[in-house]
């Protein structure tokens, strides 16, 4: 089982998918993706909550 985040669930129009073994690792990779792809230096609490809510187990 792995954890999957479709960035498009949080950022409409983005087709990136982050997949990792744990939710924390997905969050870490999502933060990297947000910085490099979306120019977000920091993920604020509201965004982090939205990202966690969008993570699926697959």
- How far apart CA 7 and CA 11 sit, in angstroms, is 6
If one asks whether residue 40 binds Zn ion (CB under 5 A), the answer comes out as no
Q: Which residue, 7 or 27, is less far from Zn ion as judged by CB?
A: 7
- How far apart CA 2 and CA 11 sit, in angstroms, is 21
* Residues 4-23, mask of contacts with Zn ion (x by CB under 5 A): ---x---x--x-x-------
Contacts for 16-20 with beta carbons within 8 Å, 24 or more apart?
19/58
Cβ 8 to Zn ion shortest distance, Å: 7
Cβ 10 to Zn ion shortest distance, Å: 7
């Amino acid at each position: 089982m792995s954890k999957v985040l479709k960035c498009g669930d949080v950022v409409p129009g983005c087709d990136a998918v982050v997949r990792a073994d744990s939710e924390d690792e997905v969050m870490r990779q999502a933060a990297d993706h947000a910085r490099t792809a979306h120019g977000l230096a920091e993920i604020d609490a509201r965004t982090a909550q939205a990202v966690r809510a969008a993570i699926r187990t697959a």
